Amino acid sequence: MARFLIVEADGGSRGNPGVAGFGAVVRDGKTGELLREIAETIGVATNNVAEYSGLVAGLAAAHEIDATAEITVRMDSKLVIEQMSGRWQIKHPDMRELALKARNIHDRALIAYEWIPRDQNSHADALANKALDGLPIESTGPKKQINFLTERLTGTEKATTIYFVRHGTTDFTPNRRFSGGDGNNPALNALGLQQAQNVAREMAKIKPDVLISSPLRRTMQTAAAISNSTGLSIIEDDSWIEIAFGEWDGLTFDDVKEQYPREAQEWLSSTAFAPPGGESYDQVGERIDPALDALVAAYPAQKICVVTHNVVIRQIVRLTLSAPSHAAFHVDIDPCSITTLSVWHRDGLRILRSFSEVGHHRS
């Protein structure tokens, strides 16, 4: 039977914005035993950012105790509870970033959110005030104070760095023919093979620890060049395969507009629309988000080269920036360019380091 944990969290700011801090508690959900206490100041912030920071710290501690536990989060912040439950939108950019961190810490299906009155959240509130007052936590029993935000800022937690390489040019690329993960599977053309050699030289300078590739022909050819330049073996992983375009594969968009006029308009209007027999942009994002988490969990603090595709990288960029779904229509990735992410495993923070770089790349 899965373990049951309770997270209680709170945060506050003296000034709003002003000097801010948070407190969080993790308890055994069956016995009520106190397992962790966390208190930390976070500089100048608003009350809501402090509350979200408490949530992130509490979930991180609970996940560290048991990564498979069922968790109930109890907070007196109606805003945080309603937003994390998905009933209210998150408009503030700082809170969107913290909410994304919280969602990436633990399996979302195992977390429930519950609002409680302030007087029932007194322990976390007291810890937040201790942090603001600069007072130490009195430790009795199996408690541990963690400070993962400070670890990241001071460099004691090392990020995983991922270099996403788009494959080289195929004969489909110049006319922007739909080329997905389920269709014609074209090979690199002469230009694409030269591009692969160029990006392979750049990756040799970076010296990645791991080389992963989508199993399609064009990505495997690009990865083969990188393998030759780095000495790394290629790990095939279909998590990074391109969006499926179904019946549209091999067609230009003009072809699609002529043959599928209604569907073409729907596709332009909504990222939730999938071409006949294909996959929507939203579906790609839904499969890429956990794949990214799994990659970082498998290779923490390493340098990873992933050879993949245009739409996949566009969704990675969108997710990293917490941008709305339609933002994926407003970016494009050059063939054999490098897009770089840093990800901190403990708090799930993702940072976009570079976007669609071609040529000289600094590791």
Rg of the chain on CA atoms, in Å: 23
Tell which residue, 40, 49, 43, 51, has the closest CA to residue 11: 51
Contacts of 153 (CB under 8 A, 6+ apart): none
- Measured distance CA(166)–CA(11) in Å, rounded: 42
Give the torsion sign (CA, 99, 115, 43, 107).
negative
In the block, tokens 């941008």 appear at 323
313 token code pair: 């990288």
Measured between alpha carbons, how far is residue 169 from residues 187, 218, 219 in Å? 9, 8, 10
Q: DSSP letter string over 6-25?
A: EEEEEEEEETTTEEEEEEEE
Measured between alpha carbons, how far is residue 219 from residues 215, 231, 281, 314 in Å? 7, 17, 20, 16
Sheet strand arrangement including 338-343: 234-236, 210-213, 303-308, 160-166, 338-343, 350-357
Catalytically active residues are 167, 242
189 token code pair: 């053309």
- Measured distance CA(83)–CA(271) in Å, rounded: 22
Phi-psi region of 173 (alpha: psi -120 to 50; beta: other; left: phi over 0): alpha
- Measured distance CA(288)–CA(271) in Å, rounded: 15
Contacts of 302 (CB under 8 A, 6+ apart): 160, 161, 208, 209, 210
CA atoms within 13 A of residue 213's CA, in its CB half-sphere: 19
Contacts of 103 (CB under 8 A, 6+ apart): 84, 348
